[in-house]
Chains A and B, each alone.
Chain A
Amino acid sequence: MVHITGNFLAESPLSPKAREALADALDQGWSDQGKIAHSAARARILRDQAMESLAQGLKVRPDELEVLGEPALGHFYAIGGLLRAKDNLVHSSVDRKEIFALARTHGKMIEIPVDISGRMEFKSLQKAAQYSGVFALQAANGETGVTQSVDELVETAGNLRVSCDYSIAGTRVELPTKWDSAFFDARSWQGPQGIGLVAIRNRSAWQNPLPHIGALRTPQSASLPLLICAAVALEEWLEDEPSEIKRLRTLSAELREDLRSIDNVDIAGDLSGSLPHITSMSFLYVEGEELLRTLETAGFSVDSGSACTAEDLQPSHVLAAMGLLTHGNIRITLHHSTTAVQIGELIEAVKSAVTDLRAS
């Protein structure tokens, strides 16, 4: 069996505290909240407490926040709820595939290009803002970690309604001063998989995009234990964040500097314009899958945006839109538990893997 010494995948296991909260919640929060039973009342209280805590952590009002048991639908709720038939869906060329799918189904879209550092072009957005529409604003990109200047973009977007994708940025990018809906994923604060949160600020502009009866904005079918676990994970995350952000930024700076010493490496974006925990890099003349397997064998799990690792064998549309090398790509994600020793070991493993693969 391979001994994994470093998890640098986008996902990470729950912290002991969050896992304990989940086990407790399975005991306490099993009842159907809609019923009259005592257990149901307890479940309702637990839910309200969790939602309040999450709202506070995400800096939104509790009455703005909705939970989704299927986070992949979050973009659809956040954007689709604001989008009218005559509207353009304005989005960037590095958006998630879900946004492209939504744009294609909607039929009217304007794609905003990015520069080589992954930043959206203001001029194109300014042009798009002349028409009515919804601006899908991705605060941070999951493949490269590149962040956007959300306030400047929102200002440029003028009268476009703004739907913020914070599924990757989480709490690490402040919400802009003006927004109409926002989407979060509990995984961005090392919470459980399967909890998405949609915040709806502009109630008059948002309409439930799915068939519905009554005033409920989302199906209310998300798992209560997972919701409670997500709230506990966020509390713990925010407690550690002030020191962790600094620490991870320092580790990422070291990682970038050391790996830049390898010949012909293309690193996505600058650290100052990126999340502190995601680094994407591509090595010329190296096949991504081979690099991934070599690192896995050495005990390091990383992600890749290269075509050979994608289901459809297409190169990453994000790297392509930025004009970066798409082959030989790896993405390294640091977590609250990542140590300096692990980073040092990873750097050595990457250097040796790239050298060996280029020589073979």
Chain B
Amino acid sequence: MKEINCLGKRCPLPIIETAKAIKELHPGDSVHLLADDPATEVDLRAWARMTGNQMRVSAPNEFLITKSKVD
């Protein structure tokens, strides 16, 4: 699984990096995001709602994002 390290990076960078990584994946594949900006969780949730992908918090400052559909 691809890992993106955005620790220390401010939003929207973690979301931009996630979107870039997801683009290269097939539906059903996931990326693992490390990010500690306090806006990450709420923004990632909103991003998932807006783009039709899925996300969950897997540990503090760690997120699992799954591509749900073909671009």
Residue ranges of A at the interface with B (Cβ–Cβ < 8 Å): 264, 266, 282, 284-287, 307-308, 314-315, 319-320, 323-328
A323 touches B45 (CB 8 A): yes
- Within the complex, the shortest CB–CB distance from B70 to chain A, in Å, comes to 17
A325 touches B10 (CB 8 A): no
A284-B12 contact in complex given A315-B38, A315-B39, A326-B39, C-beta closer than 8 Å = yes
**Option from A286, A314, A319 in Cβ contact (under 8 Å) with B38:** A314
> When the two chains form the complex, which single residue of A264, A308, A327 contacts B43, counting CB atoms closer than 8 Å?
A327
B46 x A285 contact (CB < 8 A): no
Q: Does B50 contact A (CB under 8 A)?
A: yes
Q: How many A-B residue pairs have CB under 8 A?
A: 52
CB within 8 Å of A: which of B39-57? 39, 42-43, 45-47, 49-51
**Chain B residues with Cβ under 8 A from A325's Cβ?**
42-43, 46-47, 50
Give chain B residues whose Cβ lies under 8 Å from the Cβ of A328.
12
How far, in angstroms, from A284 to B16 measured CA to CA in the complex?
9
User: Complex: how many Å from CA A63 to CA B35?
Assistant: 55
CB pair A287 B12 closer than 8 Å: yes
- Distance A360 CA – B42 CA, assembled complex (angstroms): 24
Known: A284-B12, A285-B15, A315-B11. A324 touches B38 (CB 8 A): no
Q: Which residue of chain A has its CB nearest to the CB of B10? A: A308
Known pairs A284-B50, A325-B43; list 7 more (Cβ under 8 Å).
Answer: A266-B50, A282-B46, A284-B51, A285-B19, A307-B37, A315-B39, A320-B39
Interchain nearest-CB distance for B61 vs A (Å): 15
Q: Is the CB of B15 within 8 A of A284?
A: yes
Contact residues in A for B19 (Cβ distance below 8 Å): 285
Chain A at the B interface: SS class? loop
Bound: A238/B10 CA distance, A: 44
Residues in B with CB closer than 8 Å to A323 are: 42, 45-46, 49
CB distance from A251 to the nearest CB of B (A): 26
Write the chain B residue with the least CB distance to A321.
B42
Contact of A324 with B12 in the complex, beta carbons under 8 Å: no
Q: Which residue of A lies closest to B11 (CB)?
A: A327
Query: Complex: how many Å from CA A284 to CA B51?
Result: 10
Residue of B nearest to A286 (CB): B12
In the complex, the 6 A-B pairs of residues with the closest C-beta atoms, listed nearest first: A315-B39, A325-B46, A327-B12, A320-B42, A327-B11, A326-B39
Q: List 16 A-B contacts (CB under 8 A).
A: A284-B15, A284-B47, A284-B51, A285-B12, A285-B16, A286-B12, A287-B12, A307-B37, A307-B38, A308-B10, A319-B42, A326-B11, A326-B42, A326-B43, A327-B11, A328-B12
Would you give the 0/1 interface string for B7-43, flagging 1 where the beta carbon is closer than 8 Å to chain A? 0001110011001000000000000000001110011
Task: Kindly provide the distance from the CB of B42 to the nearest chain A CB, expressed in whole angstroms.
Answer: 4
Contacts of A320 in B (CB 8 A): 39, 42
The distance in angstroms between the C-alpha atoms of A264 and B19, with both chains bound, is 12
The complex places the Cα of A326 from the Cα of B38 at a distance, in Å, of 11
Determine if B50 and A327 form an interchain contact, defined as CB atoms under 8 angstroms apart. no
How far, in angstroms, from A319 to B42 measured CA to CA in the complex? 9
List of B residues within 8 angstroms of A264 by Cβ: 50-51
Q: Bound complex: CA of A323 vs CA of B11, how far in Å? A: 16
Chain A residues contacting B38 (CB-CB under 8 Å) are: 307, 314-315
Most A CB within 10 A of own CB, among B11, B12, B16, B37:
B12
Question: CA A319 – CA B51 in complex, angstroms?
Answer: 18
Chain B residues whose CB sits within 8 angstroms of the CB of A286 once the complex forms: 12
Residues of B with C-beta under 8 A to A266: 46, 50
Q: Quick check: A315 and B16 within 8 Å, CB to CB?
A: no
